[in-house]
Amino acid sequence: MGEKSDVWQGTLALMVLRTLETLGPLHGYGLARRIEQTSGDLLQLNYGTLYPSLLKLEQEGFIRSRWGVSENNRRAKFYELTKAGQRQLKKAAAEWEQTTGILARFLTPAQEG
């Protein structure tokens, strides 16, 4: 199997918001593992990247956190999507779909006319 890739600039927030929308509240470790799992284990999520992103999303009002107990009985901070986060997720997903559509035009071989 090849090396794992780092998460692309600007995509982590979208992945976090979508994961929380899909699975509900999760702690940071659970979020990281789920994002890596969803990528087919092709992405490697650095905790030095994840936690600042979570803090930024919380400061922007897109997620909120609360302390709870993890499945292995440890104290953990759980993150969940807010209404503003749901709106941001829809906006960011639409922007990303448009961007990837534009990029695909450059990567698709030109048709001979």
Output the pTM of the full model.
Answer: 0.86
pLDDT score, position 113: 54
d(CA 31, CA 16): 7
Q: Which of 1-15, 28-42, 78-92 has the highest mean pLDDT?
A: 78-92
| Spans of all domains in the chain | 5-107
pLDDT score, position 112: 59
Q: 5-107 in CATH: which number?
A: 1.10.10.10
pLDDT in tens, 91-112: 999 999 999 999 999 998 776 5
pLDDT in tens, 11-47: 899 999 999 999 999 999 999 999 999 999 998 888 8
